[in-house]
Amino acid sequence: MSQHIRHNSRKTLIGFVTSRSGDKSIKVTIPYKTPHPLYHKVVNRQTVVHAHDEKNETHPGDKVEIMETRPLSRLKRWRIVSILERAASIEDVAAETAAAAGAEAKA
């Protein structure tokens, strides 16, 4: 009996969540740099893809790793593999600001 070894040849990319476009769906912006064809200056570009977020656990600003997958809908061809870095929420920023203001008042 022969065993088939399947190598994972799917593309993985790292990008930032820009918006929640629906239930279990997000838009991910993937920034990259490329030289201008005529002037040879390095130019910042970006690609926007739709990805599947099964657990609805990402928020705009999160840094995520996505992997290519079978077509899940008309636009979705990617899925979330992991969340690499969480974006600071409004509550976290407000708490840090209040703590800093309290420390200045005591000093």
Among the listed residues 74, 78, 76, the one whose alpha carbon sits nearest the alpha carbon of residue 64: 78
For the cut 80, the answer to whether the pLDDT of residue 26 exceeds it is yes
Which of 1-5, 46-50, 87-91 is the least confident region? Answer: 1-5
For the cut 90, the answer to whether the pLDDT of residue 58 exceeds it is yes
* Pairing of the two strands 42-52 and 63-68: unpaired
Just give the CATH number of 12-106. Answer: 2.40.50.140
For the cut 60, the answer to whether the pLDDT of residue 33 exceeds it is yes
Q: Are 17 and 58 in contact (CB under 8 A)?
A: yes
CA distance 15 to 79: 12
Task: Take residue 36 and report the two structure tokens written for it.
Answer: 């201008």
**Domain extent listing, the chain:** 12-106
For the cut 80, the answer to whether the pLDDT of residue 70 exceeds it is yes
Task: Determine if the pTM surpasses 0.85.
Answer: no
Q: Which residue has the tokens 């990402």?
A: 58
| 3 state DSSP class of 33 | strand
